[in-house]
Amino acid sequence: MEAGILGGGNALGWLAVILFGLPTLAISQESGSPRGVSDSMPVQVYRPMGAGSCSARACHGSTEQDFTFQDLYRRSHTTWIQADKHSRATQVLHNDRSKAITTRLNFTEPAYQSVRCLACHATPEIAPDPGPYLFRFGSDGVSCESCHGPASGWLEPHVSQSWKSKSPKEKSTDYGMNPLGTLAERAENCVGCHVGAAAGGGLPLRDMNHEMIVAGHPRLTFEFAAYLEQMPKHWIEKAPSKDYRAQSWLIGQLATAKATCELTASRAKRNRQEPPTAPWPEFSEYNCYSCHFQLKPALTWRAAGKNRDEVGLPEWGSWMTPRLRDLSLSVLKRTDSHIQRELDELAKAMRLDNTSPAAAEIKAEQLAKQFGDWIRKLEDEKPDPGALLDFLEAERHDTQRWKLAHWDDATQLFLALSALSQPDSPRPGGSLQRRNLRPKLDIDSLRQLLMFPTGKESPGDFNPSLFQRSLDRK
């Protein structure tokens, strides 16, 4: 970990890097049509052009330090290559850890040439056939085109004067540039790699599974608001909401849930169609510490609030679900929602003593659709930030909950409260207003309680009671 990443950072960013690093995923060689387009439609396939095509000083490679609106975009490539960890995503495939992972998995090629690794350690479109691209820009990492889309269709047009008059939809449909103007568009783009995704939209399957975790790959624990806060900005929000931080957290929760359910459905479908290629159940979807007891203090089944028939069963969706069960009514005002029941039904279908791929596929698809509907509605129906803060405060002071808490639950609450305590304005030089948490949140104390012990990749002696006392500290 680089010292510069920690220097002067805020608590939200610190936790994201210290605990999570830069998660990545594995893929297969399945592919489909360009992003955002139905596989049944005739499509134009666009090619990556490499980050170097954006690096000229007159384009996005400026070294000027005057942070005006125009200059920030002229420095986009410079900011990315100097400060963004995504630029080094391919380089890590050459390190000892990556070599050890490929050895344990009996790969026939090194990680930096592996289809399974390049989908998320590079521009995903090159992964199915990396040969023609590795020599030209094989060290680019996760670069411009990983998010904005392969540039062969838009590289030349986007420098013309007429480009500014084109709508995001037109730029996407006619030229292949991905729309990233809203928080929802960005979040749904991020989760493709940071959570996982089925094959489609011109991209191969991205599925970092338990097999790769056993081989040494870090577990994926993505929280959009924390990652967005940590990223060195190479853009300016043109019209940021005064509740930008709250919006980013809420949309991130829904986008992560949607991606998780879609990946679960994809795994279930692949298991039914090609069982050898998709083990079922996929253990990476469960709470690691339910099975790996040495990674956290043991609780008796009574102390953990379980029924006898649940003893020994790992908890499904422990990273995704902690806040979702109550959000729909208290914040989103979805009185027609049955999210609690539907999550329980999916969790039941995923129980290891009676798991059903067919039932899980149906339930996961239904939930993914509902989460997608909420994301779209949030762009028009802004949630009440006061209601969101009240919701998190209630979660914070739920004494019974924290007697039974696990690390995933506690970390998600910490990240949510941290997002609400950050400055509202994401603009350089914008107003800096912080929300009043009741009582004041002791960020540093909470972060220390969630930190992994030195040299470890698990929470060790996480203590729920101590965590709760720090939540209430005045």
The string of pLDDT tens digits covering residues 29-43 is: 333 334 444 344 445
Model confidence at 177: pLDDT above 90: yes
CB 234 within 8 A of CB 59: no
Mean pLDDT of 85-108: 95
Mean pLDDT of 206-218: 94
Listed in sequence order, the residues at least 6 apart from 184 whose beta carbon sits closer than 8 Å to its beta carbon are: 251, 255, 375, 376, 378, 379
Q: Cα 44–46–49 angle (5° rounding)?
A: 165
Mean pLDDT of 424-432: 44
Q: Which residue has the higher pLDDT, 461 or 99?
A: 99
Listed in sequence order, the residues at least 6 apart from 465 whose beta carbon sits closer than 8 Å to its beta carbon are: 402, 403
Model confidence at 417: pLDDT above 60: yes
Q: What's phi and psi for 316, nearest 5 deg? A: -80, 140
How high is the pLDDT of residue 42?
45
Mean pLDDT of 406-435: 67
How high is the pLDDT of residue 332?
65
Mean pLDDT across the chain, nearest whole number? 78
Q: Which residue has the higher pLDDT, 154 or 13?
A: 154
Listed in sequence order, the residues at least 6 apart from 96 whose beta carbon sits closer than 8 Å to its beta carbon are: none
Question: H or E segment at 212?
Answer: helix 210-215
d(CA 117, CA 106): 14
Q: Residue 433 — pLDDT band, cuts 50, 70, 90?
A: very low
Residue type, 397: H
How high is the pLDDT of residue 190?
96
* Per-residue pLDDT reduced to its tens digit, 346-386: 988 998 887 889 999 999 999 999 899 888 888 777 767 67
**CA-based nearest residue to 341, from 354, 358, 324:** 324
Q: What percent of the chain has pLDDT over 90?
A: 36
Q: Which residue has the higher pLDDT, 163 or 305?
A: 163
The reply to whether omega before 439 is within 30° of 0 (cis) is yes
Model confidence at 112: pLDDT above 80: yes
How high is the pLDDT of residue 91?
93
Among the residues of 60-143, which ranges form H helices?
69-74, 76-83, 96-104, 115-121, 131-137
Q: Which residue has the higher pLDDT, 261 or 334?
A: 261
d(CA 38, CA 24): 25
Model confidence at 168: pLDDT above 50: yes
Q: What percent of the chain has pLDDT over 70?
A: 76
Query: How many Cβ atoms sit within 10 Å of the Cβ of residue 169?
Result: 10
Mean pLDDT of 124-138: 77
Token output for 249: 């957290």
pTM of the predicted protein model: 0.85
82-91, 96-105, 314-323, 361-370: the lowest-pLDDT one = 314-323
Residue type, 94: H
At 27, is the secondary structure helix, strand, or coil? strand
Residue type, 319: W
Q: Which residue has the higher pLDDT, 230 or 16?
A: 230
* Per-residue pLDDT reduced to its tens digit, 213-244: 999 999 999 999 999 988 998 888 876 666 78
96-100, 231-235, 337-341: the lowest-pLDDT one = 337-341
How high is the pLDDT of residue 282?
93
